[in-house]
């Protein structure tokens, strides 16, 4: 797109933006930090910039907690913090802004207590385009601006005094002070799920880890000794083996859960040793503790646990596939496009103890892969 604009092919560049946003949103999310930086290198990439900012305001840590934050272009940062719907506490936003400004001035002393007037002036100059977007935040029932260095030092003295008058004494002021941002209340999902997942609930998670620990009695959900860290979630445009290998290759202690399209079924498996794309010797990894399962849900009366019986072929790592338990023709398998009919299947095989569903082929409505660890 950038090259297209250089050759004045504006219509082509616009069509590329539209195609990426409408057809390749999952790819954009996988390479988000790079796309975000690149999109602000040309002012005509406005559609892509808006798409990126619409994503960041909902998931601000994607940018603010990334290594690339301190190299973020000023126009990208200003556009982002000008949004009324940026979903982050104001004090956190301004802590990040100060850190960004400091990163642009590597000569500043590490301790702000040692800063001279000239140091504050340099930082103020760096942040001159950010300062007009300053907000106040709520603390102890009062709307106030944080009253610590270096905030009061980089603001105009008149503005600082006016802020204190308005929010400490509720007096009329001449300065313009922006209202607080709109923090949205998250909408609850329509089906009963856990706060960490859109596929399984807390009771499902407790049952899975009970199988992992080989307990005869299932853990109570509130005493689950494991943490579930989401590595990958696939829905609508995210049903490919590419995203799986990009995010899960060589990761260990993985739990995958799959919502079968058009049914109440939830299938899945546990792989403690992980999948490894570099394996070329028949693509198999030996594992003694893996298992596959079907979870009790809706019309499904009882959960089914099927432990591995043939460890040498427990885990299949074919690069054309997604996660596979057992042989690529047996066990539980997800092919390159998980949302197509025949894209996933589960079959009876001596490698695992028992079948986990009756029909062989299915397509995926949604799937998640978690990495688990003991709390």
Tokens of 63: 């940018």
Q: Which pLDDT value is given to residue 145?
A: 42
For 295, residues 6+ apart whose C-beta sits below 8 A from its C-beta are 200, 204, 207, 208, 257, 266, 267, 268, 303
User: How large is the average pLDDT for residues 356-373?
Assistant: 87
Ramachandran angles phi, psi of 352, nearest 5°: -120, 155
Q: Which residue has the higher pLDDT, 1 or 176?
A: 1
Cβ atoms of residues 247 and 291 within 8 Å: no
What is the chain's mean pLDDT, rounded? 80
Q: How confident is the model at residue 55 (pLDDT cuts 50, 70, 90)?
A: confident
User: What pLDDT was estimated at residue 192?
Assistant: 39
CB contact at 8 A, 204 and 266:
yes
Report pLDDT digits (tens) over 324-345: 998 755 678 887 666 665 568 8
- Better pLDDT: 45 or 298: 45
pLDDT in the model for residue 150: 44
Q: What is the Cα–Cα distance from 349 to 233, expressed in whole angstroms?
A: 28
User: 220, 215, 199, 318: which is closest to 268 by C-alpha?
Assistant: 199
Per-residue pLDDT band for 374 (boundaries 50, 70, 90) equals confident
Q: What is the pLDDT of residues 133-150, one digit of tens each?
A: 877 544 433 444 443 344
Instruction: Please report which confidence band the pLDDT of residue 25 belongs to, taking 50, 70 and 90 as the band edges.
Output: confident
Alpha-carbon gap, residue 241 to 150, rounded angstroms = 48
Residue 190's pLDDT is 43
In the block, tokens 């973020």 appear at 72
Query: How much is the average pLDDT of 31-43?
Result: 86
Distance in angstroms (rounded) separating the CA atoms of residues 76 and 64: 12
pTM above 0.75, yes or no: no
Structure tokens at 195: 């706060």
Q: Tell me the pLDDT band of 355, cut-offs 50, 70 and 90.
A: confident
Q: Are 20 and 50 in contact (CB under 8 A)?
A: no
Query: Do 177 and 166 contact (CB within 8 A), yes or no?
Result: yes
Q: Supply the pLDDT for residue 143.
A: 40
pLDDT in tens, 69-99: 999 989 999 999 988 888 888 778 888 888 8
| H or E element in which residue 233 lies | strand 226-235
Residue 344 is predicted with a pLDDT of 83
Per-residue DSSP letters for 271-335?
ESS---TT--STTEE--SS-EEEEE-BTTB-S-EEEEBS-GGGSEE--TTSSSEESSTTSEEEE-
* pLDDT for res 295: 94
Residue 203 main-chain phi, psi, to 5 deg? -65, -40
Q: How many residues does the chain have?
A: 375
CA–CA dist 271, 253 (Å, integer) = 6
More confident residue, 194 or 102: 102
Question: In this model, does residue 269 exceed pLDDT 90?
Answer: yes
CA dist., res. 284 & res. 315, Å (int): 6
pLDDT score at 147: 38
- For 100, the enclosing helix (H) or strand (E) is helix 90-103
- The pLDDT tens digits of the residues spanning 211-244 come to 999 998 898 888 899 999 999 888 654 567 788 8
- Summarised one tens digit per residue, pLDDT across range 162-210 is 555 554 555 555 545 566 677 765 554 443 345 688 899 999 999 999 9
Q: Which pair of tokens denotes residue 82?
A: 């000008």
Sorting pLDDT into bands at 50, 70 and 90, what band is 30? confident
Answer yes or no: is pLDDT of 113 > 70.
Answer: yes
Let me know the angle formed at the C-alpha of 203 by 309 and 333, rounded to the nearest 5 degrees: 40
- The rounded percent of the chain whose pLDDT value lies above 90 is 28
CA atoms within 13 A on the CB side of 100: 30
Write down the pLDDT at residue 304: 93
Local structure of residue 135 (DSSP, 8 states): B
The pLDDT of residue 214? 94
Rounded Cα distance, 91 and 348, in Å: 56
């Amino acid at each position: 797109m950038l090259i297209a604009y250089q050759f004045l092919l504006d219509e082509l560049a616009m069509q590329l933006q539209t195609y990426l946003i409408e057809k390749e949103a999952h790819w954009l999310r996988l390479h988000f930090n790079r796309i975000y930086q690149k999109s602000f290198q040309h002012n005509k990439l406005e559609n892509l910039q808006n798409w990126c900012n619409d994503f960041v305001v909902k998931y601000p840590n994607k940018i603010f907690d990334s290594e690339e934050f301190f190299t973020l272009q000023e126009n990208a940062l200003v556009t982002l913090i000008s949004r009324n719907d940026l979903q982050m506490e104001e004090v956190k936003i301004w802590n990040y802004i100060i850190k960004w400004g400091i990163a642009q001035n590597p000569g500043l002393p590490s301790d702000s207590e040692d800063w001279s007037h000239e140091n504050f002036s340099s930082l103020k100059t760096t942040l001159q385009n950010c300062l007009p977007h300053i907000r106040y935040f709520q603390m102890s029932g009062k709307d106030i601006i944080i009253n610590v260095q270096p905030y009061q030092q980089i603001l105009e003295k008149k503005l600082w005094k006016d802020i204190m008058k308005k929010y400490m004494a509720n007096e009329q002021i001449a300065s313009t002070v922006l209202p607080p941002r709109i923090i949205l209340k998250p909408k609850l999902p329509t089906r009963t799920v856990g706060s960490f997942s859109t596929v399984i609930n807390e009771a499902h998670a407790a049952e899975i880890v009970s199988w992992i620990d080989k307990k005869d009695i299932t853990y109570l959900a509130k005493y689950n000794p494991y943490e579930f860290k989401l590595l990958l979630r696939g829905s609508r445009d995210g049903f490919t083996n590419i995203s799986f290998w990009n995010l899960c290759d060589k990761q260990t202690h993985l739990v995958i859960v799959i919502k079968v399209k058009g049914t109440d079924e939830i299938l899945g498996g546990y792989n403690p040793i992980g999948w490894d794309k570099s394996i070329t010797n028949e693509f198999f990894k030996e594992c003694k503790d893996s298992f596959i399962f079907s979870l009790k849900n809706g019309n499904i009366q009882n959960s089914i646990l099927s432990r591995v019986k043939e460890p040498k072929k427990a885990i299949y790592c074919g690069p054309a596939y997604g996660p596979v338990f057992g042989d690529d023709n047996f066990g539980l398998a997800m092919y390159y496009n998980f949302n197509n009919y025949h894209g996933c299947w589960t079959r009876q095989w001596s490698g695992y103890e028992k079948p986990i569903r009756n029909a062989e082929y299915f397509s995926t409505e949604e799937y998640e892969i978690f990495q688990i660890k003991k709390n």
